[in-house]
A and B are shown apart, each in its own frame.
Chain A
Amino acid sequence: MITSWSSLLPLLIVLSSLVPGLLIFTLREDQNRLRVLLNMTGVLLKLALVGLMLWGVDRGLEFRFAVPFLPGGGLVLQGDALSLQFVSLSSVLWLATTIYAIGYLEDSPLRSRFFGYFSLCVSATVGVALAGNLVTFLLFYELLTLTTFPLVVHRGTPQALRAGRVYLTYTLGGGALLLMGVALLHSLTGSPDFVTGGYLQPMLEAHSTSLIVAFALMIAGLGVKAALLPLHGWLPQAMIAPAPVSALLHAVAVVKAGAFGIVRVVYDVYGVEPVQALGLNVPLLALTAATIIYGSLKALQQQELKKRLAYSTISQVSYITMGVALMGPIAGVGALAHLVHQGLMKVTLFYCAGIFAETLGVHRIREMDGIGRRMPLTMAAFTLCALGMIGVPPTAGFISKWYLGLGALEAGWDIALLVLVISGLLNAAYFLPLIYRGWFARPPAEWPEERSLGTGRPGLGETHWMLLVPVLFTALLALLAGILAGTGFSPLSWSELIINREFNL
């Protein structure tokens, strides 16, 4: 029965952003303080609740909220170690992104609508993370599509609309495929709660065709958001959205929901052994490898900063999927750690891109010449996270790459190591020129479109403080996640905890 606090907690975590979001919709444009207050209350409340849940899960408490929904599969919200990894990431980055967005959208129209959908989007993300069975997952996954669409088209320009249409085409198509996959599995066994090791082992003999088709459908559906190779087309388009949205899409909400879904499907629905028995890991692995290389190559081709970052996301998110597809515990640790690491780094990169665009009007790569002299702190954060993307120690990206590489060898897929090396080289090829331009090239006499945010002097006043603080915060986290990887509260340790439970180690 829904009486104890531990069963209400997952619901409260979802509501802590949903309710402020709905309230924000009702606000007038000029009710600025109230909006900020609502936003920040939601953010902090969620952080506190997530902290509480982290504490509980670490002690082995169970958090499960369930209401009946469909026959054979209720609406279940459940806090386990894996979901908390994602929930913590999204709540922390929501904090940063909210502050950033408040600064970014200062004096722009339709803020109530923006922040309303923004909060709904986070609620959907958290719902995806906390979903306790496939039906619930599907529900929040679709809601995520719906709540992000208004954010993608927020600018309302023809390009934004085009991007929004492409985004919808892909994500709704993916959602439909996922629905088919989930419904197919549901018709076989219903939708029981996610369990470590999966629940499909007993069906393996009798229904192997159905299981393979369902897997393909679900991976295709999730692969749209996770930007797997033939389904990635929306991501570079969606970068037209305002910077906080891009940051959120690329780092937390959308692509991560896809990747997280793949993790769930492989680990907690099918289980590692059935997936291998059905021979499904090999095509998945091949797909991710191809995506990693392709994304990097395309990123190299882009001359626009945000586009380059977008293609880089395609490549980087597939690291997560690859780690899962390698089917080994070490690779799994790498994948789950990268889920967080990539989020931290990519969010920072998009923040920085947004700051460059807002403060100086810099959009293209060639305009970045000498930007490090004008905005050293932002550029330092950018550099740090770009290096992290390459996998340069001691940033967070290094830790994930380390574990993925070891995991590839452990699983006997040496070729995956080669993929990582090639991708590392390509990452370097498209990130290092930016860093070179930023620090070593001669700054132009005049920036394309300089606005007076902050004092305009290099340092803490180089841009609006609300833009700068989140950047420094997430960059610092990305660095600490690498340097302090061994501590108990690092993403790495938490991933190890999850994987130990998952593989019964």
Chain B
Amino acid sequence: MSPLLWLLVPGAPLIAALLVWRQPRQAGSWLWLSCLPALLFSLWPPQALAISTLWPGAEWALDDQLGRAWLGFTALLWACSTRFAVGDLRDDNHRQRFWIFWLLSLAGNLQLVIAQDAGSFYVGFTLMSLSAYGLVVHLRGPAPRQAGRLYLQLAVLGEMLLYAGIMLRIHEADGALDLNAWQNAPTSTLTATLLLVGFGLKAGFWPLHVWLPLAHPAAPAAASAVLSGAMLKAGILGLWRFLPTEDPLLQGWAPVLLAIGAFSAFYGVLLGLLQTRTKTVLAYSSVSQMGYLLAILALAWQQPEYRTAAATLLAIYGVHHGLAKGALFMGAGLSAHNRLGPVHWLLMAVPALALAGLPLTSGAAVKALLKDGVDASAVADWMPLLTAGSLGTTLLVLRALWLMRASQQQNESLPPAPAGQMLPWALLCLMPITLPWLWPPLRGAMLDSLPLYAIWASLWPVLAATALAALILKIGWQIPPTLTRLPNPALIASLRLKRLLQRPPLPPTEPHVDSDRWRRYERQWNRLWQPGTVALSAWIIGVLLMLGWLW
């Protein structure tokens, strides 16, 4: 296939954006088609495209499994969410604005996946990151505004750190812009820190997650789905692509990063359990899941020989979590606005339990691979943590499901869900159980997790968590109210920063001149010359003559 077809990947959403501008009313239902090129190319990628007319070094291609998987799930999730969003936006005055930000964000997200050079990646990343602000603040009100503010502040900070990181990285790689060339260029502490923080702010693992639990719930459901499902992953992909494979520095950092990942996984669960809103719970679940992804990266850096396996795991984990989380966020949106029947709840349970790692789902496959990875690594004795994590995740998704249920019960008179929203949602919901049969790498992993001991290993934490949840429900234990309203220092800091920037305490620079006083001096000076022209001139001549005589 012609390499020029790659232009369609970011191009299709941009063309769609033009369409939205001209025909805001009719275009909506068809916008999901703009993800189609990306989806197709993830299956049948064209040849690499080097575009000399774009920014320097621009090259778009997909030559690894990770990239293809990433493009595939990103496109699929965006397509489903786009279709899903149509329903939510039917009566929205700001429909056009939403779509434009949406499509720009989509174009950026797709482009960064196919980017083979730093410039293209950065272009896509920034486009996605900044346009997503429009999605976060789309629903009006103080909460989205505050969440958006924090999101934007950190996104811009991340952009700048990333910019510095990329510059340093290009310098380290002797001017090479090709991401493949970067894999072998050693990095320095500063560069690695900048990139880790820059991408970390997007990926949202602890402690860079502060914006995430605020922004994701604030956005419309479809936007939350892509924010959590697709955009967070861009940060992980960036770290994977930008930092070298074998580097003593990263090897040394790996234990710390692993610890951060692990902490993030439990932190997300703990905080998530305390939340009272479905989407916040899901957002914290994302924090927790991003911890796992960071851990995988750290494992790969620690043991370069594990890298191939880690790439596969990362691909599968990305697909699994992206689609499942997307489905859950959409489900949360549905449950808040529409009446759900038993079939719906059954569908909803699929991604939820897949996240928990139920056997026969993509979740179990992912967990099995991750265990293999940890098992083979230097931190094999951390294994119990994985089990505990699985338990925690189960509790978290159960809490989410329970909250959805509760919101249904509070509101009796909800309309049934429209088909335009049901179909894409159902498609996503079914992915965790259908994809393992369709996609060979995932199929292999799932089949590996099918031995009885493995099934038991992944099943018992789920069961235990379910039992625990049932117990808590039974005794009617409530979360203490103080814990549900923990103060958020990040929000306060964000507000302070905004105020500081609005009225920066800079000293005024206008110099003060006392013109009256100077005028007085001038008058006195002028008075000196009062005696008259002739007399003064005569005096001057006389004095000069005297002086001349002496000379």
Contact = CB atoms under 8 A, between A and B. Distances in A.
Q: Tell me if chains A and B make direct contact, with any CB pair below 8 A.
A: yes
Interface of A: 297-298, 300-301, 372, 387, 390-394, 398-399, 401-402, 405-406, 408-410, 417-418, 420-421, 424-425, 428-430, 432-433, 439-440, 482-487, 492
B54 A421 contact: no
Contacts of B170: 406, 409
Given A482-B55, A486-B58, A406 B504 contact: no
A402 B57 CA distance: 12
Nearest to A425: B160
Contacts of B126: 392-393
Given A301-B503, A439-B97, A486-B51, 15 more contacts: A298-B509, A300-B504, A301-B506, A372-B97, A399-B55, A405-B163, A420-B164, A421-B161, A421-B164, A425-B157, A425-B160, A440-B134, A440-B137, A485-B55, A486-B58
A421 B501 contact: no
Contacts of A410: 171
A425 B156 contact: yes
Given A392-B130, A394-B123, A406-B170, A486 B163 contact: no
A442 to B, nearest CB: 8
Contacts of B137: 440
A433 B97 CA distance: 17
B52 A486 contact: yes
Contacts of A398: 55, 123
Contacts of B130: 387, 392
B515 interface: no
6 contacts: A392-B126, A392-B159, A430-B501, A483-B55, A484-B54, A485-B54
B156 A433 contact: no
Interface in B107-138: 119, 122-123, 126-127, 130, 134, 137
B134 A486 contact: no
B164 A439 contact: no
Contacts of A439: 97, 134
Contact of B163 (A391, A440, A482, A485): A391
Contacts of B56: 402, 485-486, 492
Given A409-B168, A439-B134, A393 B119 contact: yes
B524 interface: no
A393 B156 contact: no
Given A297-B504, A484-B53, A424 B163 contact: yes
A393 B122 contact: yes
Given A301-B506, A428-B156, A483-B54, A393 B168 contact: no
A406 B167 CA distance: 6
Contacts of B159: 392, 424
A486 B177 CA distance: 14
A387 B130 CA distance: 10
Contacts of A387: 130
Nearest to B123: A393
Given A393-B123, A425-B157, A433-B502, A405 B55 contact: no
Contacts of B152: 432
B36 to A, nearest CB: 23
Given A439-B134, A486-B53, A300 B501 contact: yes
Nearest to A485: B55
Interface string B22-61: 0000000000000000000000000000011111101000
A428 B504 CA distance: 14
Nearest to A483: B54
A421 B190 CA distance: 14
Nearest to A409: B171
B151 to A, nearest CB: 12
B156 A486 contact: no
B241 to A, nearest CB: 17
Contacts of B160: 421, 424-425, 428
A225 to B, nearest CB: 20
B167 A394 contact: no
Interface string B132-160: 00100100000000000000100011011
A393 B167 contact: no
Contacts of A433: 501-502
A317 to B, nearest CB: 19
B501 A429 contact: yes
Contacts of B127: 393-394
Nearest to B96: A376
Contacts of A297: 504, 506
Interface in B208-235: none
A387 B502 CA distance: 19
A430 B127 CA distance: 19
Contacts of A391: 163
Nearest to B190: A414
Contacts of A429: 501
A421 B54 CA distance: 24
A432 B506 contact: no
A297 B164 CA distance: 20
A417 B167 contact: yes
Contact of A487 (B53, B119, B504): B53
Contacts of B123: 393-394, 398
Nearest to B137: A440
A87 to B, nearest CB: 24
A421 B163 contact: yes
Interface string B51-93: 1111110100000000000000000000000000000000000
A401 B163 CA distance: 9
A383 to B, nearest CB: 10
Nearest to B164: A421
Interface in B472-499: none
A421 B165 CA distance: 10
B431 to A, nearest CB: 32
A374 to B, nearest CB: 13
B54 A432 contact: no
Contacts of B156: 390, 425, 428, 432
A387 B97 CA distance: 17
Nearest to B21: A376
B95 to A, nearest CB: 13
Given A392-B126, A433-B502, A486-B51, A405 B119 contact: no
Identify the 6 closest CB pairs spanning chains A and B, nearest first.
Answer: A405-B167, A393-B123, A409-B171, A428-B156, A487-B53, A429-B501
Nearest to A330: B175
A297 B503 CA distance: 11
Contacts of A392: 126, 130, 159
Contacts of B509: 298
A394 B55 contact: yes
B99 to A, nearest CB: 13
A425 B127 CA distance: 17
A268 B170 CA distance: 30
B119 A402 contact: yes
Contacts of B122: 393
B97 A486 contact: no
A301 B53 contact: no
A288 B79 CA distance: 48
Contacts of A399: 55
A79 B157 CA distance: 43
B51 to A, nearest CB: 7
A429 B53 CA distance: 32
B54 A486 contact: yes
Contacts of B157: 425
Contacts of B175: 406
Contacts of B506: 297-298, 301
Contacts of A301: 503-504, 506
A430 B504 CA distance: 11
Interface in B156-198: 156-157, 159-161, 163-164, 167-168, 170-171, 175
Nearest to A426: B501
Nearest to A377: B21
B317 to A, nearest CB: 28
Interface in B502-541: 502-504, 506, 509
Interface in B244-258: none
A432 B156 CA distance: 10
